[in-house]
Amino acid sequence: MPARSMLVITAHPGDFVWRCAGAIALASSRGERVVIACLSFGERGESASLWRKGWSLDEVKAHRRSEAERAAAVLGAEIRCYDAGDYPLEETPQLRQALIDLYREVQPAVVLTHAPADPYNHDHAVAHAIATRTRVLAQAPGVAGPGEVIGAPPVFCFEPHQPEQCGFMPNVLLDITPVWVRKVEAMAILGAQGHLVSYYTELGRRRGTQAARNSGPNLGLPSEVYAEAYQRIFPQVTQELS
User: Which residues fall within 8 angstroms of residue 242, CB to CB, at 6 or more apart?
Assistant: none
pTM of structure: 0.95
* Residue 216 pLDDT level (bands cut at 50, 70, 90): low
Contact 118, 124 (CB under 8 A): yes
The residue that leads in pLDDT, 128 or 242, is: 128
Q: Measuring CA to CA, which residue among 159, 13, 9, 2 is closest to residue 74?
A: 13
What is the fold of 5-232? Answer: Rossmann fold (3.40.50)
CA distance 198 to 103: 34
Q: Measuring CA to CA, which residue among 31, 36, 1 is closest to residue 19?
A: 36
The predicted model gives 46-60 an average pLDDT of 95
* Structural domain spans, the chain: 5-232
Q: Supply the pLDDT for residue 215.
A: 78
Q: Measuring CA to CA, which residue among 124, 131, 212 is closest to residue 161?
A: 124
Backbone angles phi, psi at 233, to 5 degrees: -85, -50
Contact 99, 84 (CB under 8 A): no
